[in-house]
Amino acid sequence: EPVTLSGLECDFGYRDSIFKRELMDRVVITAVDLRLERTPALNTDYPALAAALAGRNVAALTPLDVFDAVVKLRRARLPDPAVEPNVGSFFKNPFIEADLAYTLVKRFPAMPLFPQAGGNFKTSAAWLIDFCGWKGQRRGGVGVHPGHALVLVNYCGGSGVELLSLAAEIADSVARTFAVSLEIEPRIYRRAA
């Protein structure tokens, strides 16, 4: 039966919502209503984006300027799925407790840590994977893209089983090295036996 949820009821968060938790596999989204502001609020804080826009008058930027810069950045680092089949950002950036974050940054001073509300930290899954030596590695027909450690690529007819096996190897090496668990971003549906 049709139901309407407000934005607040959807409980949106970092790559998360009620549709990935309580309502997972229980609803189908058939329509989305958006309320847009007439005055743009541009967020150019992402480090690579800020660097790409360096020297430009931030006050004079338009949403199209930011869009063009983001597209250019993504094209430079990420494979075109029409040319190189891939699953995009495969792991979520993990959240870690403050005690573990402080311990890890002593051992790995270059490890990026981003403070979060409540005293915990978010870190870069790509950095963890890259540190473990996975960027550019291949297993059978699948591998990790050489330009971005979060992107898993199907190079030559690899299977879903191969891809998930590679993902498990990556997650295991990150857990052994950093004591940090990686969470797969895309939903995994397995064929019924």
Closest to 111 in 3D by CA, of 66, 178, 156, 188:
178
Catalytic position from the list 165, 169, 173, 185 = 185
Catalytic position from the list 15, 56, 74, 176 = 15
Please work out, in degrees rounded to the nearest 5, the angle formed at the alpha carbon of residue 72 by the alpha carbons of 67 and 75.
125
Residue with tokens 């992107």: 151
Phi, psi values for residue 132, rounded to 5°: -75, 0
Q: Is 22 a catalytic residue?
A: no
Q: Is 21 a catalytic residue?
A: no
| C-beta of residue 163 within 8 angstroms of C-beta of residue 173 | no
Q: Is 38 a catalytic residue?
A: no
Phi, psi values for residue 148, rounded to 5°: -155, 120
Catalytic position from the list 17, 77, 89, 162 = 89
Contacts of 128-131 with CB under 8 Å at 24 or more apart are: 128/94, 128/174, 128/177, 128/178, 128/180, 128/182, 129/91, 129/170, 129/174, 129/182, 131/177
Question: Kind of pairing, strands 95-96 and 113-115?
Answer: unpaired
What are the residue numbers of the active site? 15, 89, 185
